[in-house]
Amino acid sequence: MYMKLDQDNAITMEMPKDAHKIKLVRGLLGFSELREMEIVYDEGELPFMRLRETQQGPTKEEALEFFVVEPAGLIDNYSIRISEDDVEQLNISESDGTCLLNIVTIHNTGGGRVVTVNLVAPLLINKKTLKGKQVIIENFNEYSPRHLLYED
């Protein structure tokens, strides 16, 4: 469900058409208009991937992008509780049909750069229907929306 991005930013289609496109039921929090997005990656950038606004028409330069990462193998003991309503809304029944992505922020501070990841509100995606949602986890008290990944 991810699409490879080559160095020139052109797209290499290796997947079934549109398989990398996801529909976000409510957009992202603060960006409710972002209902259709695509997940693309560049091999050199893995495990980071890019979640970007599906580009429509000539406004290509304006497209919004977010770096995202799968938490598995990166965040130790990341154990989250999802509300029943969210599970039901996305029709998720088993964990292997689900993809979890966390949004990454690059902060440009005065001295250097800081990279954090939002562990409170991951994107939960049903791989079969490609329907996703940014959910606020029920155990939000246990994690930070700015979990430190890297600091200069």
Partner 1 sequence: MLVLSRKEGESIIIGSGEDEILVKIAKIEKDLVKLAIEAPRKISIFRKEVFDSVMESNKEAALRKQKGNQRLSLPKEALRAVQDKKTKNTSASFLQE
What residues line the site for partner 1 (CB under 8 A)? 1-2, 9, 26, 28-31, 45-48, 60-67, 69-70, 72-74, 85, 88-89, 99, 103-107, 113, 115, 118, 120-121, 127, 134, 136, 140, 145-146, 149-150, 152
Name residues whose C-beta falls within 8 Å of residue 139's C-beta, 6 or more positions apart in sequence. Answer: 79, 80, 81
- Report in angstroms how near the CB of residue 141 gets to partner 1 at its nearest: 9
Comparing CB distances to partner 1, the nearer of 47 and 93 is 47
Residue with tokens 């080559």: 6
What are residue 52's DSSP bridge partners?
A: 38, 65
Comparing CB distances to partner 1, the nearer of 11 and 63 is 63
Closest CA to 117 of 99, 101, 95, 133: 101
Q: Quick check: bond before 58 cis, omega within 30? A: no
Task: Write the burial class of residue 117 (CB in 10 Å: 0-12 exposed, 13-18 middle, 19+ buried).
Answer: buried
Comparing CB distances to partner 1, the nearer of 54 and 140 is 140
Single-letter amino acid code for the residue at 14: E
Comparing CB distances to partner 1, the nearer of 73 and 110 is 73
- Report in angstroms how near the CB of residue 145 gets to partner 1 at its nearest: 4
- Report in angstroms how near the CB of residue 52 gets to partner 1 at its nearest: 8
Comparing CB distances to partner 1, the nearer of 15 and 93 is 15
- Report in angstroms how near the CB of residue 107 gets to partner 1 at its nearest: 7
First to last CA, the chain: 33
What are residue 58's DSSP bridge partners?
A: none
- Report in angstroms how near the CB of residue 62 gets to partner 1 at its nearest: 7
